[in-house]
Chains A and B, each alone.
Chain A
Amino acid sequence: MSQNKTAGAVAKRHMGLKTSRRIGNTAIYILLIAMSVIWLVPFICILLQSFRVESTWQVGYVVPQKWGLDNYQNLFKTDFPRWYTNTFIAALCTAVLQTVIVLCMSYTLSRFRFKMRQPLMRFMLILGMFPGMLTMIILYRVLKDLGMTQANAVPGLILVYVASSGMGYYVSKGFFDTIPKSLDEAARVDGATRLQVLYKIILPLSKPIVIYTILTAFMGPWGDFVFARYISFGASAGKNVAVGLYDWLSKDQINKSYTMFCAGGVLVAIPVTILFMCLQKYYVEGVTGGAVKG
């Protein structure tokens, strides 16, 4: 009898747990759905407004009254294609060169133990505390003397992006640290040089981090605003998409080009997003691995 009672109580408590869990899960579902809406709404808005043709300025409603592709057609009457190619070329070159430099740097700092290693890393840590923007003032004038600014901004931009990229070695160094050193040593014993160890053993194992580095290096120039603004100063032909679209939202242009900004934004976002989503796996790996190492 008493046993029955306890069993009933346990069952009841179990039921209670179950319902409370169900309530908790429902709350979480509601939260997640609300979040998804909040996170996606701006992008849906930008997409919808890029098709609005009844007016070109900012309005207080979302769904267009008249739909059309005018904004996209107008884009090609402006400098937008030029900005797009500028950014694309810069992104492509940066992706290649920066990857080489970052991998050289991080592989060396992860694998070799030489006298200057620790001081070098500490030095770069301190260097990183200076606001990088400050260097733009001088780099702008030097690049200008070399003819790599304004309309010819793209080579200058690539140089600026790539040259200092060695300082961003943390994430990939963290990855290389996880590859066992015994692999290197075994190969060294078999008579391989350090170079052979790198491209025969380490690189094949490092596909995720190589892809991560290429992906982030490629995406960087699409979002860069400061350096591109400085270097292309005053010349429309040298702008990248960020600077060009930013100027469209300035006070004297926004009424003329707000919807065009939306269309441009969509055109920029689509290829980058597709590429990112395809390689998402590697990005997540890099981010989670790198953050822990700091």
Chain B
Amino acid sequence: MANISDLEYLRLSKGQKLLFRLKRFFTDSLPNGLKNFFVRIGKGIGSGCQKIGSECKDIVSTFVHGDWKTKLSYLVMGFGCLARGQILRGILFLLFEIVFIGYMILAGGYWLSMLPSLGKVGPTETYNELFDTYTTTYNDNSFKILLYGVLTIFFIIAFIYTWRQNVKQNQIAEKILASGKKLRSGKEDLHSLVDDQFHKTLLALPMTGILIFTVLPIIFMVLVAFTNYDGAHDGYASNLFTWVGLKNFNTMLSWNSAGGTQSYAATFGEVLTWTLIWAFFATFTNYFLGMFVAMAINKKGIKVKKLWRTILVLTIAIPQFISLLYVSKMFAKDGIINGTLLSLGWIKQALPFWEDPTWARITVIIINIWIGIPYLMLITTGILMNIPADLYESARIDGANPWQQYTKITLPYMLFVTGPYLLTSFTGNMNNFNVIYLLTGGAPTNAAASSAAGSVGYTDLLITWLFKITTGAESQYYLASVVGILVFIVVALISLIVYNVLPSIKNEEDFQ
């Protein structure tokens, strides 16, 4: 890519400028961004290794130079604290160690040892001659093994971290005592939790919730993608499930037809394409039309601004499922829209709003505009009012017409300020379950797609497809999990690209 000077760039026409920037993005920014990304990952791993090395060194040197109290703390956690009079800390450390060892002996060891096989003995049936019945005994539980196995690993990591803290405590305490100062008492420790350590108190509850209800399930589900966990292998009542390696990814990304007449890869490609098209239109139609409505209401000389706004805001207040479900029925074959048009004699046959793939896709986007405009009108109204009025004033004096004012002042300002919003809105729309599922449920069904994957339809997004897989006849959780991981990769890739190109996202402190 030949570099051109600023002057040459300025001389280009508008179309050429855009072309140039796009080209530069793909030849310059994208490869560089990716390169930097991988370099950063490499560096991160490198510095991580270095950090672990220096930690180990530190642990050894603390042991060598420490006194007997410190040395004993390596075995009995918190001993140093107890011996030096920091009773509260010492008891907490000791308690943690006891709980950990107890847990590992009683349960953790079992879960950990079963993790590689995910259970050995499935449910067995014994025949009872007397009553002529079979009684089932349930043995290993793959689901629990996987779940508690992951939890145990969490616990071990937490233990190693705490043990390291325990060593550090001794080192610090020795230093403080050597310099002739006093150690913090338990009371002071408690007080610091509402003062200089207040952030830990505040974060404790939210982070526990996120760890247990988001992080743990996500790790679990990522692991499920490498197993054969489904309705027929539920790990307990029917069959055990087990590790299958990359088989599920192969299934999802192979072009061999499976079950139906179309391969999974082709179905995935179709759904992904529609998801991206949908996200693009849903984001930008709403954005521009919402902005337009906001500007129309803001225009000088328009009266009862508040009334117009209130009417639109009213539609935000009504729970979405009511409006979506109702509107979806309005557009049905025997719905109000078709009924009215028929009785007016404007059409002879009911319009196939939900029956024809193209009609359905367009209808979904249009109804989404109806849903989205009020919300965007609110967001943009506030920002539009922040644009300094003298900018328009001087533009008008220079003879700029409204369209020029819009493209030269309003739009650049809006795009700069709402850049981050557009990104989150785009990824949010990719995962917009409610609008699609409540409006169409994915219909019309794509007959060519594999029926094993929960009868995917033409308006299905990846996220609704995922839902259909899990609730479908075969409950192929492993496949749902593969789709979930692929959704993550797509979203992360898009965010990474946009993040590297947009200037306004990067600097958080700029806004403060």
- Chain A positions within 8 Å of B, measured between CB atoms, are 21, 24-25, 28-29, 31-32, 35-36, 38-40, 42-43, 45-46, 58-62, 100-102, 104-105, 107-108, 112, 114, 124, 126-127, 129-139, 141-142, 159-160, 162-167, 174, 177-178, 193-195, 198, 219, 222-223, 225-226, 241-242, 245-246, 249, 254, 258, 261-262, 265, 268-269, 272-273, 276-277, 280, 283-284, 287-289, 291-294
Contacts A105-B203, A129-B491 given; does A246 touch B378 at CB 8 Å: no
Q: Is the CB of B147 within 8 A of A142?
A: yes
Chain B residues near A268 (CB, 8 Å)?
Answer: 319, 322
The answer for the CA separation of A55 and B486 in the assembled complex, in Å, is 47
Listed stretches B13-21, B84-92, B107-115, B331-339; interface member: B331-339
| Pairwise interchain contact A137-B487, C-beta atoms closer than 8 A | no
Q: Is the CB of A292 within 8 A of B202?
A: no
Q: Are A43 and B206 in contact (CB under 8 A)?
A: no
A93 CB to closest chain B CB, in angstroms? 14
Known contacts A127-B218, A135-B218, A273-B317: does B194 contact A25 (CB below 8 Å)? no
> Which of B50-58, B66-74, B93-101, B426-434 is the interface stretch?
B426-434
Q: Are B484 and A28 in contact (CB under 8 A)?
A: no
B340 at the interface (CB under 8 A from A): yes
Which residue in A60, A130, A167, A178 is a CB contact (below 8 Å) of B339? A60
Segment touching A, from B253-261, B354-362, B379-387? B379-387
Contacting pair B322 A195 (CB below 8 A): no
Known: A58-B335, A107-B202, A288-B379. 12 other contacts (CB 8 A): A25-B301, A28-B299, A61-B343, A130-B487, A134-B481, A138-B220, A164-B214, A223-B434, A226-B437, A262-B326, A272-B317, A287-B379
A-B pairs with beta carbons under 8 Å apart, 30 shown: A25-B299, A39-B311, A39-B370, A40-B311, A43-B314, A127-B218, A131-B488, A133-B463, A139-B213, A166-B206, A166-B210, A167-B214, A193-B198, A195-B195, A195-B198, A219-B319, A223-B321, A226-B467, A242-B321, A245-B322, A246-B438, A265-B322, A268-B319, A268-B322, A269-B318, A276-B316, A277-B317, A280-B313, A283-B313, A291-B418
Query: How far apart are B484's CB and chain A's nearest CB, in angstroms?
Result: 4
Give the complex CA separation of A272 and B321 in angstroms: 13
Given the interface pairs A195-B194, A265-B322, A292-B383, the reply to whether A131 lies near B487 with Cβ below 8 Å is: yes
The answer to whether A129 touches B379 (Cβ under 8 A) is: no
Which of B217, B310, B505 is within 8 Å of A135, CB to CB? Answer: B217
CB-CB < 8 A to B431: which residues of A?
131
Residue of A with least CB distance to B383: A292
* Contact yes or no, B296 A32, CB < 8 A: yes
Assess whether A163 is in contact with B418, with CB atoms less than 8 Å apart.
no
Contact assessment for B488 and A45 in the assembled complex, using a CB-CB cutoff below 8 Å? no
Find A108's partner among B203, B316, B323, B492 (CB 8 Å cutoff): B203
**Contacting residues, chain B, for A21 (C-beta < 8 A):** 301
Q: How large is the interface on B (under 10, 10 to 19, 20 to 34, 35 or more residues)?
A: 35 or more
Contact among A46, A58, A138, A294 for B322, CB-based, below 8 A: A46
A112-B381 Cα distance, complex, nearest whole Å: 32
Q: Does B351 contact A (CB under 8 A)?
A: no
Check if B336 sits within 8 Å of A45, measured CB to CB. yes
Q: Which of B485-512 contact A (CB under 8 A)?
A: 487-488, 491-492, 495, 505, 511-512
- Bound-state CA distance A106–B109 (Å) is 39
Tell whether, in the assembled complex, residue B420 and residue A272 are in contact, meaning their CB atoms are under 8 Å apart: no
Residue of chain B at shortest CB distance from A194: B198
Q: Is the CB of A62 within 8 A of B336?
A: yes
Hey, which bits of chain B sit against chain A, CB under 8 A?
143, 147, 191, 194-196, 198-199, 202-203, 205-207, 209-210, 212-215, 217-218, 220-221, 224, 293, 296-297, 299, 301-302, 308, 310-323, 325-327, 329-330, 332, 334-336, 338-340, 342-343, 370, 374-375, 378-379, 381-383, 417-421, 423-424, 427, 431, 433-434, 437-438, 462-463, 466-467, 470, 477, 480-481, 484, 487-488, 491-492, 495, 505, 511-512
Contact in complex: B466, A31 (CB < 8 Å): no
Q: How distant is A241 from chain B, measured CB to nearest CB, in Å?
A: 8
B residues less than 8 Å from A101 (CB atoms):
205-206, 209
Q: Complex: how many Å from CA A287 to CA B378?
A: 7
Whether the Cβ atoms of A39 and B205 lie closer than 8 Å is no
Q: Which 8 A-B pairs have the closest CB atoms?
A: A60-B339, A294-B420, A288-B382, A166-B206, A135-B217, A276-B317, A163-B213, A194-B198
**What residues on A are CB-neighbors of B375 within 8 Å?**
287
A244 to B382, CA, bound (A): 37
Q: Count how many pairs of residues, one from A and one from B, have CB atoms less than 8 Å apart in the complex.
A: 259
Q: Please tell me if the beta carbons of B318 and A131 are within 8 angstroms of each other in the complex.
A: no
CA distance A195 to B438 in the complex (A): 45
C-alpha spacing A112/B361, complex, angstroms: 47
A interface: dominant SS: helix
Contact B302 A25 (CB under 8 A): yes
Contact, CB under 8 Å: A133 / B319: no
User: Which residue on chain A has the smallest CB distance to residue B198?
Assistant: A194
Query: Which listed residue, A28, A104, A107, A131, touches B296 by the CB 8 Å rule?
Result: A28
Contacting residue for B327 out of A29, A42, A107, CB 8 A: A42
Chain B min CB distance to A195 (Å): 4
In the bound complex, CA of A49 to CA of B424 (Å): 37
Instruction: Determine whether the beta carbon of B470 is less than 8 Å from that of A137.
Output: yes
Bound-complex Cα distance A46 to B336 (A)? 11
Q: Which of B314, B317, B383 has the most CB of A within 10 A?
A: B317
Cα A114 to Cα B1 with chains together (Å): 44
Nearest opposing residue in chain A for B493, CB measure = A129
A66 to chain B, nearest CB (A): 18
Q: What CA separation (Å) do A264 and B346 show in the bound complex?
A: 33
Contact between chains at A45 and B484 (CB < 8 Å):
no
In angstroms, Cα B196 to Cα A194, docked, is 7
Question: Assuming A130-B484, A139-B213, A194-B196, is B505 touching A294 (CB within 8 A)?
Answer: yes
Residues of A within 8 A of B327 (CB): 42
Q: B198 to chain A: which residues have CB within 8 Å? A: 112, 193-195, 198
Q: A133-B467, A265-B322 are in contact. Are A126 and B492 (CB under 8 A)?
A: yes
Flag if A134 contacts B218 (CB, 8 Å): yes
Which residues from chain B contact A177 at a C-beta distance below 8 Å? 511-512
- B277 CB, nearest partner CB in chain A, Å: 19
The residues of A that contact B299 with a CB separation of less than 8 Å are 24-25, 28
A108 to B322, CA, bound (A): 37
A166–B212 Cα gap in the complex (Å)? Answer: 12
Cα of A245 to Cα of B319 in the assembled complex, Å: 12
Which residue of chain B is the closest to A177 with respect to CB atoms? Answer: B512
Chain B's closest residue to A43 (CB) is: B318
Q: Known contacts A104-B203, A141-B143; is A292 also within 8 Å of B418 by CB?
A: yes
A142 and B470 CA atoms in complex are apart in Å by 16
